[in-house]
Amino acid sequence: MLVVDDDPLSRALQVHLAALLGYTATAEPDAEQALARAVSGEIDAMLLDLGMPGLDGFEVLRRLRAREAQAGRPPLPVIAVTGYASEVDRQRCLRAGFIDYVPKPVQAAALGAALARAVSSRCGEATTRAVEHASDAMRLRATVRRLSGVKPGDRQFTPTVTESFALRSAQLIEMAHAGVQQADAGQVGRAARALRASAEFLGALRLAQMAGALAERAALGAWPEAQQTLQDIEQEHQAVLTLLFEAAR
């Protein structure tokens, strides 16, 4: 994957987050060089900043698509990365041909979701699910290793953190269930946002994404969809707990 951004801090952050998400990324500050690398076929996806000097992201994408068509190549998945975060900006990006859109400052959950969709565009839904699960497992194990070093000598610290998450997340899911039954969007939203924050901290981004979707559906009053999302959350929650307790042994 190639990260294209003229700001060095933004480039470094995106490369770091991509690594945490289980992807290998390199960076390129120059739009012309990025275009040459994209056309060469050496990369499988691109995170492209829109507001660059010289060629902006829209022009880079336009030229890339023209060269791909000329060479008879399939379109490279390109994700727009920008500080312009309105719905109008998002729609403009999608109309221009970007596969997805990630606002700055880039957050791990949003980037993970966009990259998963980019993978799906190339290798299909079943493979995407496998990649997402593998990446979450890797992140959860890394979190457990990191937490185990927070209090050197305290061998009970990591199990305590894991058990605390297990208890609190179960409470939040129950709170969300009660909110859905009562059609209480506020209660569901509070539970879902708290669950999302806890899941993101641990690296369980699939669970975090589902919690975010639950909050959105509750806010729209889409209760049948919210109920289905809760069922998906329960299954993913169990998978996350299994991974956590295995890693904490």
Sheet of 26-28, strands arranged across: 26-28, 2-4, 46-49, 78-82, 100-103
**Where, residue-wise, is CATH 3.40.50.2300 in the chain?**
2-123
Cβ atoms of 21 and 46 closer than 8 Å: no
> For residue 86, what pLDDT is reported?
79
Query: Could you give the CA distance from residue 90 to residue 133 in angstroms, rounded to a whole number?
Result: 27
pLDDT in tens, the chain (249 residues): 899 999 999 999 999 888 776 678 999 999 999 998 988 888 889 999 998 888 899 999 999 999 988 888 888 999 999 888 778 888 889 899 998 889 998 887 778 778 777 766 554 444 344 444 545 666 666 666 665 554 444 445 555 677 788 889 999 999 999 999 999 999 999 999 999 988 887 778 888 889 999 999 999 999 999 999 999 999 889 888 887 777 666
Handedness of CA 84, 90, 91, 94 (dihedral sign): positive
Distance of CA 51 to the CA centre of its chain: 22
Is residue 26 a contact partner of residue 38, using CB atoms and an 8 Å limit?
no
Angle at 66 between CA 62 and CA 80, to 5 degrees: 30
Whole-angstrom distance, CA of residue 86 vs CA of residue 83: 9
Tell me the whole-structure pTM to 2 decimals: 0.54
What was the pLDDT predicted at 126? 42
CATH of 134-247, one of 1.20.120, 3.90.1570, 1.20.1050, 1.10.10: 1.20.120
CATH 1.20.120 domain span(s) along the chain: 134-247
DSSP assignments along 189-223, one per residue = HHHHHHHHHHHHHHT-HHHHHHHHHHHHHHHTT-H
**What is the third-level CATH fold of 2-123?**
Rossmann fold (3.40.50)
